Amino acid sequence: MSLFDDGVKALQEKLHRKEISVSDLVSYSFKRISEVDDKVQAFLTLDEEKALKKAKDLDAKLTAGETKGMLFGMPIGVKDNIVTRGLRTTCASKILDNFDPIYDATVVNKLHSAETVTVGKLNMDEFAMGSSNENSGFKPVRNPWNIDHVPGGSSGGSAASVAAGEVLFSLGSDTGGSIRQPASFCGVVGLKPTYGRVSRFGLVAFASSLDQIGPITRNVEDNAFLLQAIAGIDPMDSTSANIEVPNFSEALTGDVKGLRIAVPKEYLGEGVTEEVRASVLKSLSVLEKLGATWEEVSLPHSKYALAAYYLLSSSEASANLARFDGVRYGYRTESPENLLELYKKTRAEGFGDEVKRRIMLGTFALSSGYYDAYYKKAQKVRTLIKQDFEQVFENYDVIIGPTTPTPAFKLGEKVDDPLTMYANDILTIPVNLAGVPGISVPCGLSSDGLPLGLQIIGKHFDESTIYRVAHAFEQETDHHKQKPVL
């Protein structure tokens, strides 16, 4: 039995009864990584010496009775696009291969305050651009359920490390589904909070109007605890919202009587496999038995979300990634003849194919003569998608559908077909464009034994209702208890 089979609450009780120590938890994490990470490849950098020292310090606090908070002593992994002081942060890109940040991201400072222990930095698609984690500049992550399959992306390492039992939970980032899609593929719980709920200070930017940091965990309760720790306004991030952070765990009542669920017909249509559709309908029947009701609705502009998203996100990426020029930090080409060649060669050698593809698409969409036709038009479509959600939420409490149209696909299966790869995020992208919160929870296994995910979408800053529904569903099923065998 894994130490991490227990949730946070049970582990805290064991710590306070002195049945285990923080050092036991952290040592177990590194032992598990040494056993399985050569197969999963979830970690890019480990911080073993500092982590074990911090565990000892926390054990001394435990002995003195000075513990605080639900996350005390819990081992965590952090996606490698979230900066960590003195711990290499690469964004899984050659261009940042030697980058050691001199400050911590706000979420990392909040984790320090909560007295968690950072085990290491997690693999990802380069600069968070990808849906399979095959775009990592160093090595692809593999799905713990079947290592011939992808774990999803871009937070593939974050989801795979939790599914493989290497850490208790992790932080990922979600720009168009990059927490929820890998959570679905790996059979874990992943939440994209409302845009502005969690500070982005210290998150290396991909698309600033879409990016959001969020928690990936084994169960819904732990997810609520982790969001509680990282949420809140931040003076270092002008886009973080000055809205009170509720006690999310208080929402975990199991009561969904009278809850009104909307099921968009577009989310169960073309491209969604029959077993994914069946798993969603079965999940809805579970919630019906608990007293909720559901009706089919339409989000008519969803069909334009994919095109709008890739124009907007690529445009923002082309601007954000202009800073990687070989001058101030990161990789620099050898012996350039002049400044222009320094820029060109550094970026050509430092960025991977997918990053270059998106920079070029974004630069084109923002260029003179094309801005109105592409970027501006995409912003108008984004507004229509947001209005679709607002209209549905006038009459319903949550929107439910599949997280992904299919289970995890095989490594290499779609790598040469970017458009098919992009379509994997078709059900998650509208949530980012609208800025609303969404969670993916396990809802079954495919005929191949691969996890399937149920997506629950809520109103702006109403993560509590999402957690209430997800927790009620989780308590009535055992999908979250299924674990891969490595």
Cα separations in angstroms, 25 against 5, 7, 48, 478: 12, 12, 13, 25
DSSP 205: P
* CB proximity list for 224: less than 8 A, separation 6 or greater: 248, 249, 251, 252, 467, 471
Q: Could you tell me the end-to-end alpha-carbon distance of the chain, in angstroms, rounded to an integer?
A: 13
- What's the CA angle centered on 284, arms 278 and 285, to 5 degrees? 90
What residues have CB less than 8 Å from 438, skipping those under 6 apart?
180, 191, 192, 428, 431, 455, 456, 457, 458, 466
CB 15 within 8 A of CB 22: yes
**Joined tokens for residue 106:** 């706000």
Tell me the residue type at 87.
L
Q: Which residues are catalytic?
A: 79, 154, 178
**CA 8, CA 69: separation in Å to the nearest integer?**
11
Reference 376, options 281, 312, 456; nearest CA is 312
Q: Omega of the bond prior to 154 within 30 degrees of 0, cis?
A: yes
Structure token digits, residue 187: 């059979």
Coil, helix or strand at residue 141: coil
Q: Which string of DSSP letters, residue by residue, matches 53-110?
A: HHHHHHHHHHHHT---STTTT-EEEEETTB-BTTB---TT-GGGTT---SS--HHHHH
